[in-house]
Amino acid sequence: PSEPPFVPYYIPFIGSMVQFGMHPINFIRENQKKYGNFFTFLMFGRKMTVCVDIDGNDFVFNARHSHVTAEDAYNSLTKPVFGADVVYDVPNAVLMEQKRMVKAGLSIENFKSYIPIFIEETNQYIDKHWTKEEDTVDMLKAISEMIIMTASHTLLGPEIRSKLYEGVADLYHTLDGCFTPIHFLFEWLPLPSYYASDKAHAELDGIFGKVIKERRANPDAKHTDMLDVLMNAKYKNGKDMTDKQVGNMLIALLMAGQHTSAATTTWSILNLADQPAVADKARAEIEQMMGTKVIGKDVPEPSYEQVKDFSVLDNVVRETLRIRSPLVEIMRKVIKPVAIPNTEYVIPAGNYLVASTAISALDEKYYKNAEDWVPSRWEQSDENEGSPDKATTDYGFGATTTSARSPNLPFGAGRHRCIGEQFAYLQIKTILYVLLSRFEFSLDPKRGMPERNYQSMVMLPEGPVLAHYKRRHD
Ligand code: HEM
């Protein structure tokens, strides 16, 4: 047995950090050509073993927890953001229980009550900020705000949502400031952002604690948000989540969904602006399903089933996630030497693993014209019969496979798979529904389609993300 090939480097310690950091997809592709699906590179003293294509995805996502863990890779990054005692700051078995509790809150019953809230919050943003007949706006900024308002209102509840204008948004922003590659690489540095995050957590604990206390004093009031679910959730041993855990878990959920969903919604709008025929196709399907005109300010409220069945929007989101997967790097740490099946390679303890589902999702081997945004490739037609995900693709909130042997896994697979996928699809599709009903979009002629920006933990469009809106009238 031997270790996977090592990418040569010229600068000791720093290694290939610059090449990887500038454009991870190109870096991985070039080395994949030279070394195959498994190779190691040095990044700031850390040995990073890249595992790509279907075999690499499967190896990382389904690795045994006794040998390979997510918490050893992520906790130094996520603890200052999420706070203590949740997600990667607890043993894996506890995370599994916490995920089960959250999943119980992401029920169809609750989702049904979220649709009017998504619509109301999106309309509120538009009525406040997009007041002209037509204008050019920073689309990423606008959509990020729609995502935080819709997510806070539905997951954290109306009380905390109403405090967003009173400084809670700034506290989130402070926590978010710790969620950068610097904090992954320099976990030992006493960065000022850590101090700020401790302070922000203390303030949020106070705000959340007060709301929880008020709710406990009024046990008969009905709520359909995640706060309510977690406040009443119990571990297998009969213990409650502490109030602090409830608050931290809510922060974790908000953070997990914020940049990922904002990036996906923004890229969707940019691509729809670039290909207005797809936007028109989505509008035609919406009107046909709703049995009424859907244009202008007073958008009718679709049912949960209708949003689920907006198949053009579903394909828009799925295709956007394929070519612009927000999480380009999935990390793990090897804690016991682990053999890669069907190879002679053994990865030593201490190495990090890097999976990148974006590599297989953009591989010509699996998708014709893989770099192009073609939502119709997901349509159930004879022409698409050979599509690699055909057997596992089902309409309605992107219910793609949970197996790791797929080239397209924007939500991961295995024990750490995303539990927010259905929430994200519902939220993104409903926001797109409102936006397409009320506006025509076009790209800014000077700026065009933005490039990808890899400098943040979540891959975003390179700013300024300009797009043009024009009101639609009856
Ligand atoms: C895990 C992607 C939205 C909550 C993951 C993972 C991916 C992912 C790739 C696996 C990470 C890994 O294996 O290391 C996305 C994308 C989203 C999205 C692309 C939006 C388009 C959300 C939302 C929530 C959420 C809205 C919460 C409501 C979680 C949680 C985990 C997770 C709790 C589990 C972490 C673990 O078990 O280690 N997500 N996510 N995500 N996501 Fe999402």
Is residue 118 a contact partner of residue 430, using CB atoms and an 8 Å limit?
A: yes
CB atoms within 10 A of CB 102: 21
ipTM of the complex: 0.99
Query: Does ligand 1 come within 6 angstroms of the Cβ of 327?
Result: yes
Query: Does ligand 1 come within 6 angstroms of the Cβ of 333?
Result: no
CATH number for the domain that contains residue 439: 1.10.630.10
Angle (CA) 345-347-352 rounded to 5° is: 140
* CA 388 – CA 406 distance, rounded (Å): 8
Shared domain for 72 and 205, answered yes or no, is no
Q: Find the distance separating the first CA and the last CA of the chain, reported in whole Å.
A: 69
Query: Does ligand 1 come within 6 angstroms of the Cβ of 140?
Result: no
Angle (CA) 67-72-76 rounded to 5° is: 175
CATH number for the domain that contains residue 19: 3.30.43.20
Shared domain for 68 and 107, answered yes or no, is no
* CA 340 – CA 196 distance, rounded (Å): 42
* CA 158 – CA 174 distance, rounded (Å): 22
Residue 36, CB-side half-sphere exposure with 13 Å CA sphere: 10
* β partners of residue 46: 43
Model confidence pLDDT, tens digit, residues 307-360 = 999 999 999 999 999 999 999 999 999 999 999 999 999 999 999 999 999 999
Shared domain for 278 and 134, answered yes or no, is yes
Shared domain for 54 and 167, answered yes or no, is no
Shared domain for 253 and 399, answered yes or no, is yes
For residue 274, the enclosing domain spans: 83-327+364-406+410-471
Give percent of the chain with pLDDT exceeding 90.
Answer: 80
Model confidence pLDDT, tens digit, residues 176-189 = 888 888 788 777 77
The pLDDT score that the predictor gives to residue 402 is 52
Average pLDDT over residues 381-386: 59
Shared domain for 119 and 20, answered yes or no, is no
The pLDDT score that the predictor gives to residue 392 is 39
Shared domain for 214 and 305, answered yes or no, is yes
Residue 277 C-alpha to ligand 1 middle, in angstroms? 31
Shared domain for 170 and 57, answered yes or no, is no
The pLDDT score that the predictor gives to residue 396 is 37
Nearest to 228 by CA among 153, 144, 155: 155
Shared domain for 90 and 200, answered yes or no, is yes
- Write the residue with the smallest CA distance to atom 2 of ligand 1: 411
* CA 199 – CA 43 distance, rounded (Å): 31
Mean predicted lDDT score pLDDT of the chain? 91
397, pLDDT greater than 60:
no
Query: Dihedral through CA 384, CA 388, CA 389, CA 391, nearest 10?
Result: 80
Residue 428 C-alpha to ligand 1 middle, in angstroms? 15
Poorest-confidence range of 42-51, 279-288, 331-340, 453-462? 453-462
Residue 421 C-alpha to ligand 1 middle, in angstroms? 7
The pLDDT score that the predictor gives to residue 390 is 43
175, pLDDT greater than 70:
yes
* CA 276 – CA 270 distance, rounded (Å): 10
388, pLDDT greater than 80:
no
Shared domain for 52 and 124, answered yes or no, is no
Shared domain for 23 and 128, answered yes or no, is no
Average pLDDT over residues 428-449: 97
Q: Which residues lie closer than 8 Å to 132 by C-beta, 6 or more apart? A: none
Band (394; pLDDT cuts 50, 70, 90): very low
34, pLDDT greater than 60:
yes
* CA 181 – CA 165 distance, rounded (Å): 29
Query: Does ligand 1 come within 6 angstroms of the Cβ of 260?
Result: yes
Is residue 261 a contact partner of residue 428, using CB atoms and an 8 Å limit?
A: yes
Shared domain for 201 and 300, answered yes or no, is yes
Residue 280 C-alpha to ligand 1 middle, in angstroms? 31
Token look-up 């009443």 returns 232
Query: Number of structural domains, the chain?
Result: 2
Query: Does ligand 1 come within 6 angstroms of the Cβ of 420?
Result: yes
Angle (CA) 127-132-133 rounded to 5° is: 115
Q: Which residues lie closer than 8 Å to 231 by C-beta, 6 or more apart? A: 212, 215, 216, 241, 243, 246
Angle (CA) 31-35-41 rounded to 5° is: 60
Is residue 247 a contact partner of residue 208, using CB atoms and an 8 Å limit?
A: yes
User: Is 439 strand, coil or helix?
Assistant: strand
Lookup: tokens for 155: 């997951």
Higher pLDDT, 331 or 385: 331
Band (406; pLDDT cuts 50, 70, 90): confident
The pLDDT score that the predictor gives to residue 457 is 84
- Write the residue with the smallest CA distance to atom 1 of ligand 1: 418
> Residue 321 CA: which ligand 1 atom is closest?
19
